[in-house]
Homo-oligomer: A and B are copies of this chain.
Amino acid sequence: MVAKTTDRAQRGGHSGVSIEDVALAAGVSTATVSRAVRGLPRVSPATREKILGIAEALGYVASSSASGLATGRTKTIGVLAPFVSRWFFSKAIEGADRELHARQYNLSLFNLGGHGSHRERLFSKTMVYKQIDALLVLCMALTHEEIEHLQKIDIPLVVVGGHVEECPYIGIDDYAAAATAVRHLIGLGHTEIALLHGDDETDLNFDVPRVRIKAFQDVMAGAGLNVREEWDEWGDFTVLSGQNAFHRLWDRPGPKPTAIFCASDEMAMGIIFEATRAGVQVPADLSVIGIDDHDFSEAMGLTTVRQRPDEQAEMGTKMLLDELDGIAGSVRSMVAPHELIVRSTTAPPRRAGVVTRTDAAPGAMTAGAAPGG
């Protein structure tokens, strides 16, 4: 015991008071301190109170490394994300954190960088293995190798917002959500509808964009509507890619669509900004609908299909933690709700024959939010 202090000093002196210090001060064994501070039974109220008081006074906090080593649990769950500053991901992280925080777990963030072959990306079990008790994967495009790695690590796992083969999954029904959006446009009377999807040109496992495309095509076909090859545009879910898509669409000669379905709100905003700048009025000349209900969508009046990544991640985290708590079977796939939110970027198309670029539709605004380029 005296030697202890000496040893510690010799080894460079890890700071902090240990369980033994508390035990000594309280005149009990470390085992009792351990039980007391963790609120376990088998400690008399008197000793518990005494120990807690001393622990508090000494500023004792258990070493997570030590208890992790002893129990085999780190009380930390990992969150794997391709981005952190994009809407879906930052919201999801926030949601996961809520649940984690409430249940005294820590959140370890692993940002892998976007999906795409050109990005540097070292994903190995080394990163996460033995550091976390469970893993929440956010809408990642994963290679087969990565998926294998993941599954070898034998910890609870759930993916939010994108399917990964063989893994439990939480997210909206992308097909239904996209179909809802397209039907809204068709219901308004549109027949000339463009698509701005979010495919990335890689071979990665990421089916969200494809599912939304499929829904678009099916609904259009189901309504007997023509899908024009040249109105099929793509982006990478960002505002900028939406802006670029607008120009590709409008700079090309030929007829223009009266509505466009965008696979994300951010791309929809890009369309709107550039449309405005080009003198194309929304929704008079062009109806725009997205998917997400981004933080800015309400302010912009964007019609969209809402989803709540925070709630999805919160639910996923809850499942993970329940599983760790011994409730086997807690982790399972689940579909999250979506909801059509009609605002003011969608309206019936102008009647045919009306000149497209001059007068505003009744009630439409004329001031500019995207001041001269």
User: Contacts A85-B94, A93-B85, A106-B131; is A344 near B365 (CB within 8 Å)?
Assistant: no
A106 → chain B closest CB, angstroms: 5
Which of B12, B239, B280 contacts A295, CB < 8 Å?
Answer: B239
Which of B63, B90, B367 contacts A85, CB < 8 Å?
Answer: B90
User: Contacts A72-B12, A282-B371, A300-B369; is A90 near B97 (CB within 8 Å)?
Assistant: no
Q: Which of A68, A94, A370 has the most CB of B within 10 A?
A: A370
Cβ contacts under 8 Å, A101 to chain B: 111
Give chain A interface residues in 229-288, CB to chain B under 8 Å.
Answer: 239-240, 243, 269-270, 272-273, 275-284
Main secondary structure of the interface of A (DSSP, over half): loop
> A363 CA to B360 CA in the complex, in Å?
19
29 A–B pairs (Cβ distance < 8 Å), ordered by A: A59-B152, A61-B126, A64-B130, A65-B66, A83-B94, A84-B97, A85-B87, A85-B91, A85-B93, A90-B90, A106-B110, A106-B131, A107-B108, A107-B109, A239-B296, A239-B299, A240-B298, A273-B369, A275-B369, A279-B366, A282-B371, A344-B371, A344-B372, A364-B368, A365-B372, A367-B368, A367-B370, A368-B369, A369-B370
Q: Which residues of A line the B interface, CB within 8 A?
A: 12, 14-16, 59, 61-66, 68-69, 72, 74, 76, 83-85, 87, 90-91, 93-94, 97, 101, 106-111, 125-126, 129-131, 152, 154, 239-240, 243, 269-270, 272-273, 275-284, 295-296, 298-301, 344-345, 347, 360, 363-373
